[in-house]
Structure 1
């Protein structure tokens, strides 16, 4: 969960790529497509080809990622596919599929769900920088089919992003797997049915949500092969909200505002912005067009200056629909039993994700008789953040582990 504060161009959906207007939200959302349409491909756009493993290594190194698992060149594609919104209505989403240029015809599949972004062009399939695609390139170059959903409302998907909404993160990730399975034969490949699931930060709980769905037989073909989420916020109510105000600005106020705005759209936790925000114009920041620098310019440095008394009370003591939504978010490790290897990857020095997140998840699995190991990937500092470093080190470690399975 990290809000990057680098400059990102503000680009409207219709200008993102040729043909984007043809997949605008209203025409699709009004379709009464059957459930069997979920995961069907709407459009495919070839992206970059990194012809050799040296090309991949250069790309990864430039983005700060490790190169030890590089084995092949990589072909990348943007898929636009049919899925459902948080209310179950038909919509479309986009995502990245990265395939190795060599190796086996039948590929083991890695699903990687990304961390917090506020600008839709920072999603993996938009390839604005190496950070967004680094994990997918790592897994594909190691010989896997890498599948990285943009999430709803990111990339070419219509509407605002339903931030930290595990149910819609799960459907977006699962439906991209279905689209990737349909697409793979066009490249001479097929996908193995067992999915190796990982993700970082926001994508950590998205990964455990997807793993739960796969383990529960939600899809007729895909099954859970292994789970290795990285620095996930599995216990946001007890481990994140109590410290969120202590994080550096604009991370502190950015996370808080993003969460409240997004969940109000989904669950109606306040009547009007002035009920919870002292500052005008907060909701407009989270439209998928604004970027990190906009948050730094607009948001005050502390929660005291951002939130009204009602807003502070909501964060300090969640009640009502907000508490109910937190309970859903924080339940991705509970109530199900993985029948596949599970590791929980952390960085011991992570300034944002405390150890309690992971021990809570581990304990939930242990209560079901599942031994989930905790792996400390080390304390790499990237762009001033050990949390960001966890993605780099955790991706390298997870790629190595997946190759041993």
Structure 2
């Protein structure tokens, strides 16, 4: 992570920012007491209903161009519009289908006439609530969303559950709630935009980085099935994404394909999160070695910075997990294997009716590039139109920095 989220770990950890350039125009807007309180309330309103909207930043086209250059985006198209960033809180559901709230941003181009095309950006791994695009002024996730708005689209970016101003913990790599929070965010964005006299077009360009790439397929599947009211699927762009957990990404942890320190963080986050949704252990000491068994769940509660999380964990999975559980991770069985197989069906149980584009980097040591090839093969077998684009000899973040200017440019053709 450089800058906020990517400051220490490179890659799948899109924890809020990709590089470290300051963005004075995106001055940090801390949540008000009213906003914070509403996220804790029990709600009984339609999913996607808008709870609150706050303007949090403005950026001129020139400032947007300068920020993109400072952050290292490769050949980013020049912005055509100044943009305004708004933080929304809206109604959605939790992992058990109960009412809750979530936060996110909508970025609108100033002075753009007519109905706006929509681009929904889905962020990567984030362990800290305060690094979300709706809160963190230095968030590169916010910048990427703003790049779409600078090109004349409405940029929409959910924080997912439990991040930003969302209550509770984030259910990491949970396709169901990544999808529900993201489709409900679209509905909230539509309601908000209508209040401002701005119409949104039906077709949605869905794109995501790392964890967000998996979420991109989940959201695409839901849009194609009509799960987001008037919205429908326009195109799909997934960047450096871990699509095949069981056969590609998890083995990479143990054969050197993923760097040990990053693998340790991913696995700690993954196992503690899935324990809450799937049920993998009764007490942490069944899975984690001392002294980490006593601290790992607290470290990943969303209130600790990435630096604190990394400092609190060892530098390899072998030092974090018990010998028995390390063997379980190398050869998953039982509930873990069943849950991973079910999650990986995102590449096999549907067929997008729109073009699907995967982007990978040859030097990515966070997410093995083979994830894209394997997923593409599965979807093509069902008749999908899929292409896999190599961004060349770039790492995880370099893949995003190279791909997103291309995706923004394609969105305006």
Fold shared by both chains (TM-score > 0.5): yes
CA contact 1:100–1:141 (8 Å) conserved in 2? yes
Alignment of 1:10-159 (within 5 A): 16-25=31-40, 27-28=41-42, 31=43, 33=44, 37-50=46-59, 52-66=60-74, 67-159=76-168
Q: Distance in 1 between matches of 2:324 and 2:214?
A: 28
Match of residue 332 from structure 1: 346
SS in structure 2 at match of 1:359 = helix
CA contact 1:65–1:134 (8 Å) conserved in 2? no
Cα deviation code 1:360-392 (max 9, x no counterpart)? 111122111122011122334xxxxx1011111
Say which is worse superposed, 309-318 or 74-83, in terms of deviation.
309-318
Alignment of 1:1-400 (within 5 A): 4-5=6-7, 16-25=31-40, 27-28=41-42, 31=43, 33=44, 37-50=46-59, 52-66=60-74, 67-245=76-254, 246=256, 247-278=258-289, 279=292, 280-380=294-394, 386-400=395-409
Cα deviation code 1:233-282 (max 9, x no counterpart)? 11011111112253335312100100000000111101110001002311
State the shift of 1:310 in Å.
Answer: 2.7
Q: Distance in 2 between matches of 1:46 and 1:358?
A: 37
CA contact 2:184–2:228 (8 Å) conserved in 1? no
- RMSD, matched Cα: 1.9
Query: Taking structure 2 as the reference length, what is the TM-score of the superposition?
Result: 0.89
State the shift of 1:152 in Å.
Answer: 0.2
| Contiguous gaps of at least 5 residues in structure 1 | 9-14, 381-385
CA contact 2:95–2:177 (8 Å) conserved in 1? yes
| Contiguous gaps of at least 5 residues in structure 2 | 10-14, 16-29
Ranges of 4+ aligned residues in structure 1 off by more than 6 Å:
none
SS in structure 1 at match of 2:119 = strand
State the shift of 1:84 in Å.
Answer: 0.1
SS in structure 1 at match of 2:366 = coil
Q: Distance in 1 between matches of 2:73 and 2:295?
A: 36
Aligned residues: 386
CA contact 1:111–1:146 (8 Å) conserved in 2? yes
CA contact 2:187–2:229 (8 Å) conserved in 1? no
Q: Distance in 2 between matches of 1:22 and 1:296?
A: 30
Q: Distance in 2 between matches of 1:298 and 1:22?
A: 30
State the shift of 1:69 in Å.
Answer: 4.3
SS in structure 2 at match of 1:208 = helix
State the shift of 1:127 in Å.
Answer: 2.9
CA contact 1:60–1:130 (8 Å) conserved in 2? no
CA contact 2:39–2:89 (8 Å) conserved in 1? no
